[in-house]
Amino acid sequence: MNTLPTLARLASDLAEGRASARSLAEAALARAEDAAGEGARTFTLIDRPRALALAAASDALRKAGIVRSPLEGLPVSVKDVFDVAGQVTTAGSAVLADAPPAACNAPVIDRLLAAGAVIVGRTSMTEFAFSGLGLNPHRGTPRNPWDRATGRIPGGSSSGAAVSVTDGMAALAIGTDTGGSVRIPSALCGLTGFKPTQRRVSRQGVLPLSASLDSVGPLAASVQCCITADGVLSGQTWQLQPRPLAGARLACPAEIALDDMDAHVAAAFDRALERLHSAGARVTRLPLPEWRELAALHAKGTLSNAEAWAWHRQRLAAQGAAYDPRVRARIEVGRQMDCADYIDLLAARRCWIAQVEQRLAAFDALLMPTVPIAAPAIASLQTDDAAYWRANALMLRNTSLINFLDGCALSLPMHPPGEAPAALMLAGCAGTDARVLALGLAVQALLDW
């Protein structure tokens, strides 16, 4: 289904002398800097000097017989929320354009550099990561690789991360996921994305949206690529094999997750279920009444609203006019929540997680569409607030359930070649990352056209 080179294939090219770290970096940088391409909307910073220096160091070490990890010499992009020493972390916003450069690297950046990754630049995003659509009025929105002539959304908030991989500006992108911001752009752009259990990957030195929900994860060409990247990001290296699908117990939620699918996503999801049944998987329609309780739990706002307001309130007072108005509106919802509301929501979340985990205890994974609709046109959302908020709610609906659960999840392409991207989400409770990834290896092979 996906013709993009995998990390393993690129690593083989390097090992066998068909490519060098410099040649890979030069090719990625040339695509990023091509005035006719999406690079200007995909990156907030293209770091050619540092990328070439890292590539030269990688080639020298390889010549000496030293290969630090499976990411050695591979071009990688990082979302504009990660601190890189000497660079300004703007989070896609004009508000932080004059902020001082970071004094040191985020641990995630140090892990990538220690692994030999060649960081080509910082990718654009929804301002302050607060939307699932990927629109950015400050820098422009990178166009989805599907139907580029129309100009469709890439998904957000890790919009540039996805396009950097689809367009060959990076072999791997590192993003953040608070309500789906790794999985949504992966789904809409035909990539594989992984949101790990939050605690597994450090968020130190990562500009926050919601301390309770933010996670760090990869966007790449395949599940195996995500496994490789996750090993570097988390320090937990797993040698995973595809988990047999015969007898696998998969729960398909009876509530919310299958509502409002467009015809294209519904057809792709039905085909995926048929293939899983044929492979011997046991798919059960599972009642999850707790999911319908979330609207009441969030009546006064979400954890993202409250925690974003706490972080932004002073900046909004001083620079509110410089914010994307739609992002500002979401942040200011948090103003309505007092300390008691916030503490009550944290306590309710703990009870909610315990109830959902009990219902899922007999299953290997949850199964649902990542997003219920194909990517809409950018133009249809830029000037129509009602269309924007409707699409944003649909994009975030399924993925955000897993963040509130403190779970882990993969988004996998499930569409035939040539059609609009549609994606299947495999998800699990906290700490089931290895099981979800092993199942993902088998499901991706099954769905590969």
Task: Catalogue the active-site residues.
Answer: 79, 157, 181
**H or E stretch covering 410:** strand 408-413
CA-CA-CA-CA torsion sign (221, 222, 225, 227): positive
Peptide bond into 164 cis (omega under 30): no
Q: Which two three-digit tokens encode residue 107?
A: 């641990």
CA-CA-CA-CA torsion sign (61, 64, 70, 74): positive
Q: Which two three-digit tokens encode residue 67?
A: 């290969």
Residues 119, 444, 425, 150, Cα dihedral to 10° = 70
Could you list the beta-strand ranges (E) of 136-225: 172-177, 192-195, 215-220
CA 292, CA 310: separation in Å to the nearest integer?
A: 27
CA 388, CA 380: separation in Å to the nearest integer?
A: 8
CA 407, CA 258: separation in Å to the nearest integer?
A: 19
Contacts of 366 (CB under 8 A, 6+ apart): 250, 251, 252, 253, 360, 402, 409, 425, 426, 427, 428
CA distances from 185 to 100, 271, 422 (A): 29, 22, 11
Angle at 324 between CA 321 and CA 329, to 5 degrees: 85
- Using left for φ > 0, alpha for ψ between -120 and 50, and beta otherwise, residue 114 falls in alpha
Backbone angles phi and psi of 155, in degrees to 5 = 90, 155
The pairing of beta strand 249-253 with beta strand 282-286: parallel
CA 142, CA 185: separation in Å to the nearest integer?
A: 11
